[in-house]
């Protein structure tokens, strides 16, 4: 292990241009040489289509004891919870649901102005285990149950927890606060139904990567301010916390490391078209005046990521508010490493450390 200025990671042998291993360096070099149109130039429909093609060609994740799709948070568009209907489309045994789509408009608006939020439950065992509600990344504009199916399976197996993935509504069709409202409704529903879903006792934890980490952090703030139920823990991987994009790493790591700052800005514009609102604490958790009373947190960032500094600063502010925090910045790593395990052994190991953190906080 290497620790430099509070940043921790595992570095391989040799010089890989500051990256953690040769495979990751080759991937980043290919991205730099072959960069085509930006997401801004492509537009959301084409970006989603391309993600769906990539997801369809991805190696399936590990088989689990049970995988089933659920309706996790029926509610009116005014935010009044209407309950949920667990247990549809059950796939039991060594299941492997097809990854046929990488994203799209999530959450169905049905008759009477009711929002139906889809989810998918992953159980590594039919025994009772803790439940983690998972909110996917994708710049609030792409992604869904299929894009993160393999990741959720890996998390369930590695941490030995049940995972409930949430398919919240996406921007720009559904700008703020639709996605966070869906995530809050889904978490409340999961807390009410955890025993039915996986035999869990107590309140679930919440987790997310990138923009999903942003929504997970906001769920914790909303639960604190609205009287609970409070998540058992929050697990945030390279999260957005400052939608003004004003931290130094958004300039220092703006291009050349996979995710670009302009791509993040595109997602922010889709989610929150009004620039004035982006510094609102209900939009950017880093701007919350008080972070006391929030759940224990794991915050993991990546050295070569435009979002690095806002994640690091959020971890520091949580700790300063008296929250139990485990914070790690992965040296030589880039944004999105949780879904890069087939690209780079170092990314696979970094993901493994994140999964171990989940297990340690929930079982330790």
Least Cα distance to 86 among 109, 68, 65 occurs for: 68
- From 69, 305, 312, 357, the catalytic residue: 305
Give how far the C-alpha of residue 81 lies from the chain's centroid of Cα atoms, to the nearest Å.
Answer: 23
Return d(Cα 189, Cα 219) in angstroms, integer: 13
- From 209, 335, 344, 357, the catalytic residue: 335
Question: E-assigned strands of 12-64?
Answer: none
Beta bridge partners of 123: 66
Return d(Cα 296, Cα 232) in angstroms, integer: 7
The H-or-E segment that residue 224 falls in is helix 211-225
Other residues' Cβ atoms within 10 Å of the Cβ of residue 23:
19
Other residues' Cβ atoms within 10 Å of the Cβ of residue 97:
18
Give backbone dihedrals phi and psi of 132, rounded to 5 degrees, phi first.
-120, 120
How far, in Å, are 9, 20, 122 from residue 3 at the CA level?
7, 14, 35
Residue 209 annotated in active site: no
Residue 134, SS3?
Answer: strand
How far, in Å, are 38, 130, 145, 191, 244 from residue 157 at the CA level?
35, 12, 17, 21, 36
Return d(Cα 304, Cα 30) in angstroms, integer: 16
- From 210, 211, 249, 344, the catalytic residue: 210
Return d(Cα 129, Cα 8) in angstroms, integer: 30
Return d(Cα 215, Cα 153) in angstroms, integer: 21
Give how far the C-alpha of residue 113 lies from the chain's centroid of Cα atoms, to the nearest Å.
Answer: 27
Residue 305 annotated in active site: yes
Residue 335 annotated in active site: yes
Contact, 189 vs 82, CB < 8 A?
no
Return d(Cα 326, Cα 332) in angstroms, integer: 19
234: CB partners within 8 A, 6+ apart: 205, 206, 207, 216, 217, 220, 294, 295, 296, 297, 298
Residue with tokens 């559904």: 174
Catalytic positions, please? 210, 305, 335
């Amino acid at each position: 292990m290497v620790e430099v200025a509070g940043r921790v990671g595992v570095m391989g042998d040799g010089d890989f241009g500051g990256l953690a291993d040769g495979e990751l360096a080759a991937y980043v070099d290919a991205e730099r040489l072959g960069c085509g149109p930006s997401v801004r130039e492509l537009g959301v429909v084409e970006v989603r289509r391309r993600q769906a093609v990539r997801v369809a060609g991805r190696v399936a994740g590990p088989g689990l004891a049970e995988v089933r799709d659920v309706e996790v948070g029926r509610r009116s568009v005014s935010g009044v919870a209407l309950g949920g209907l667990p247990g549809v489309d059950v796939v039991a045994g060594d299941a492997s649901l097809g990854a046929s789509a990488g994203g799209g408009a999530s959450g169905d608006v049905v008759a009477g102005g009711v929002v139906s939020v889809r989810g998918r439950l992953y159980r590594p065992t039919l025994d009772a285990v803790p439940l983690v509600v998972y909110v996917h990344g994708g710049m609030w504009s792409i992604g869904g149950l299929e894009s993160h199916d393999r990741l959720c399976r890996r998390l369930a197996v590695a941490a030995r927890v049940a995972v409930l993935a949430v398919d919240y509504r996406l921007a720009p069709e559904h700008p703020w606060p639709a996605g966070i409202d869906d995530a809050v409704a889904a978490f409340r529903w999961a807390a009410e139904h955890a025993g039915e879903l996986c035999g869990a006792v107590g309140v679930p934890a919440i987790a997310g990567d990138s923009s999903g980490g942003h929504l997970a952090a906001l769920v914790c703030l909303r639960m604190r301010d609205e009287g609970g139920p409070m998540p058992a823990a929050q697990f945030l991987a390279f999260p957005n916390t400052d939608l003004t994009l004003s931290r130094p790493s958004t300039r220092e790591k703006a291009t050349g490391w996979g995710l670009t700052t302009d791509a993040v800005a595109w997602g922010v514009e889709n989610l929150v078209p009004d620039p004035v609102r982006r510094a609102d604490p209900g939009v950017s958790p880093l701007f919350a005046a008080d972070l006391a009373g929030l759940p224990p947190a794991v915050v993991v960032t990546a050295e070569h990521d435009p979002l690095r500094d806002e994640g690091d600063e959020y971890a520091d502010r949580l700790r300063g508010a008296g929250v139990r925090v485990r914070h790690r910045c992965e040296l030589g790593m880039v944004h999105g490493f949780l879904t890069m395990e087939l690209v780079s052994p170092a990314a696979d190991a970094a993901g493994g450390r994140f999964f171990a953190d989940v297990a340690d906080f929930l079982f330790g």
